[in-house]
């Protein structure tokens, strides 16, 4: 039978969808996005917009593929179980049993009975999945952690993903080795709360240090890490291990101490500032990107001005800006809300600052030579990413998934153009 997978949300979802795809293909199912017999939607619930988009895609799939088996899973279904059970879905699961997708579909094809599975438990075992090769990205994601125990006041994720748990250390290393053997030169470690990784006495730094011993692995990137998890052990590793990408995504969420306290974040701006300074002592040109929530309850005009000033001071390479989204049942949902117009205006202010800081950061590398791993073709260009996460445009067709030393020649708006100096894979010719 033919199937398609639609994925919303984070890199964890992308990894889980890749696992489902790989296992369906291995079991004889055929990928066909035009005329699928089975439509799988892996949903997201991080914001109200993500929920709306998830539901919209379910309705669209049912409308466009009336006779297809509709499979819906993920955070949105876990968060709104009753709503989804009224939508005529054939196979409905939350964030558990995605690893069993093949057997669940096989059973449905035999019995033709609707399948619904959710768990309300937070204390769960790590649901093991292993991906041999990423078909959707040149960079390979490896999910090494799941769940969160932070309970930030605005966030629904601890309720839909459960408590923190981690992939077995040896299993994770073997998975990375397989991915590298299959040609991946960059591996991105991902999780819901990646920095909390812990297995058999090993933490995230130990995992990265062991990965770095794999000769053919060029880069190790972390999808996201909290400022409180960048301890001295990690900073020492960042100093000595060149395979760690020159880029860290560190969520800020607010630049106001008043709001950070209301968010139940585990740091204040002084702590954040000090830790960023230590990172830049080690790697002066590192790209530090962040997440910013705008309009959280108790964010006054004065708080927002502090927020803007702090972001400017931190000189982030890019800011992912999100208007606060009320999630029913979270602590923040019971707090006085900021009106929608104010949130919209403040979002535009931070987005404009992000554009300014992004251009400023990229300009630092004009005429410098950086290593680029090529990823895809866009018109007459080959594109790829540097270690510090600049997307680079190379005129011409170059082999994908290869490392090239490239000189940055021009920066227009947010487009970085470069020319190839040499190919760092010696068996290839430029």
Model confidence at 17: pLDDT above 80: yes
Model confidence at 413: pLDDT above 90: no
Model confidence at 42: pLDDT above 90: yes
User: What was the pLDDT predicted at 429?
Assistant: 45
What does pLDDT average to over the chain? Answer: 94
Model confidence at 120: pLDDT above 90: no
Q: Which of 363, 385, 412 is the last residue of a domain?
A: 363
Model confidence at 203: pLDDT above 80: yes
Model confidence at 63: pLDDT above 50: yes
Q: Is 333 within a domain?
A: yes
Q: Are residues 268 and 240 in the same domain?
A: no
Q: Are residues 195 and 260 in the same domain?
A: no
Q: Is 429 within a domain?
A: no
Domain CATH number, residue 383: 2.40.50.140
Q: Percent of the chain, pLDDT > 90?
A: 91
Domain CATH number, residue 197: 3.30.750.210
Model confidence at 18: pLDDT above 90: yes
* CA R_g for the chain: 22
Q: Could you tell me the residue range of the domain that residue 405 belongs to? A: 369-423
Average pLDDT estimate for 327-343: 95
Place of tokens 């073709």: 377
Model confidence at 305: pLDDT above 50: yes
Q: How far apart are CA 404 and CA 418, in angstroms?
A: 11
User: What was the pLDDT predicted at 109?
Assistant: 94
Q: Are residues 241 and 322 in the same domain?
A: no
User: What was the pLDDT predicted at 427?
Assistant: 47
Give the confidence band of 423 by pLDDT, cuts at 50, 70, 90: confident
Q: Are residues 403 and 417 in the same domain?
A: yes
Q: Is 430 within a domain?
A: no
Model confidence at 246: pLDDT above 70: yes
Q: Is 298 within a domain?
A: yes
Model confidence at 430: pLDDT above 50: no
- 80 Cα distance to chain centroid: 22
Average pLDDT estimate for 386-405: 96
Q: Percent of the chain, pLDDT > 70?
A: 98
Q: How far apart are CA 219 and CA 245, in angstroms?
A: 6
Q: How far apart are CA 238 and CA 221, in angstroms?
A: 11
User: What was the pLDDT predicted at 319?
Assistant: 98
Q: Which of 220, 245, 270 is the last residue of a domain?
A: 245
Q: Are residues 131 and 238 in the same domain?
A: yes
Angle between helices 11-26 and 101-111 (to 10 degrees): 60
Q: How far apart are CA 278 and CA 273, in angstroms?
A: 9
Q: Is 193 helix (H, G, I), strand (E, B) or coil?
A: coil
Angle between helices 301-314 and 269-282 (to 10 degrees): 10
Q: Are residues 324 and 419 in the same domain?
A: no
User: What was the pLDDT predicted at 125?
Assistant: 87
Q: Are residues 193 and 127 in the same domain?
A: yes
Q: Are residues 160 and 97 in the same domain?
A: no
Decide: 388 and 426 in contact? Cβ < 8 Å. no
Q: Which of 96, 117, 138 is the last residue of a domain?
A: 117
Minimum mean pLDDT among 127-131, 226-230, 265-269: which range?
127-131
Give the confidence band of 259 by pLDDT, cuts at 50, 70, 90: very high
Number of domains in the chain: 4
pTM: 0.92
Average pLDDT estimate for 145-161: 94
């Amino acid at each position: 039978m033919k199937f398609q997978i639609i994925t919303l949300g984070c890199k964890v979802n992308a990894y889980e969808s890749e696992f489902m795809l790989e296992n369906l293909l291995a079991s004889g199912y055929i990928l066909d996005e035009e005329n699928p017999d089975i439509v799988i939607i892996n949903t997201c619930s991080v914001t109200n917009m993500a929920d709306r988009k998830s539901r919209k895609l379910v309705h669209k799939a049912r409308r466009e593929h009336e006779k297809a088996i509709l499979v819906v899973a993920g955070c949105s279904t876990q968060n709104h179980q009753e709503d989804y059970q009224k939508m005529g879905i054939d196979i409905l699961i939350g964030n558990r049993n995605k690893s069993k997708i093949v057997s669940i579909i096989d059973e449905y094809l035999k019995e033709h009975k609707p399948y619904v599975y959710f768990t309300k438990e937070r204390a769960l075992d790590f649901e093991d999945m292993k991906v041999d090769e990423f078909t959707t990205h040149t960079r390979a994601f490896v999910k090494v952690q799941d769940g969160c125990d932070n309970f930030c006041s605005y966030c629904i994720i601890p309720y839909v993903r459960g408590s923190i748990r981690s992939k077995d250390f040896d299993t994770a290393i073997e998975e990375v080795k397989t991915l590298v053997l299959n040609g991946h030169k960059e591996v991105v470690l991902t999780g819901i709360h990646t920095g909390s990784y812990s297995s058999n006495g090993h933490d995230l730094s130990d995992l990265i240090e062991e990965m770095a011993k794999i000769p053919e692995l060029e880069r190790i990137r972390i999808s996201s890490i909290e400022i409180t998890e960048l301890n001295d052990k990690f900073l020492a590793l960042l100093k000595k291990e060149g395979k760690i990408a020159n880029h860290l995504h560190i969520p800020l969420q607010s630049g106001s101490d008043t709001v950070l306290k209301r968010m139940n974040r585990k740091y204040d701006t002084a702590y954040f500032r000090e830790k960023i300074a230590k990172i830049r002592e080690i790697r002066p040109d590192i790209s530090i990107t962040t997440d910013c929530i705008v309009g959280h309850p108790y964010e006054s005009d004065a708080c927002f001005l502090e927020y803007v000033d702090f972001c400017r001071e931190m000189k982030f390479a890019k800011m992912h800006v999100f208007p606060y989204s009320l999630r029913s049942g979270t602590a923040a949902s019971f707090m006085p809300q900021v009106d929608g117009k104010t949130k919209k205006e403040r979002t535009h202010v931070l987005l404009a600052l992000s554009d300014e800081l992004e251009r400023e950061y990229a300009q630092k590398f004009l005429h410098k030579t950086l290593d680029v791993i090529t990823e895809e073709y866009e018109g007459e260009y080959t594109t790829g990413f540097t270690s510090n996460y600049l997307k680079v445009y190379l005129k011409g067709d170059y082999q994908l998934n290869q490392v090239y030393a490239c000189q940055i020649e021009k920066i227009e708006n947010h487009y970085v153009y470069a020319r190839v100096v040499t190919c760092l894979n010696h068996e290839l010719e430029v």
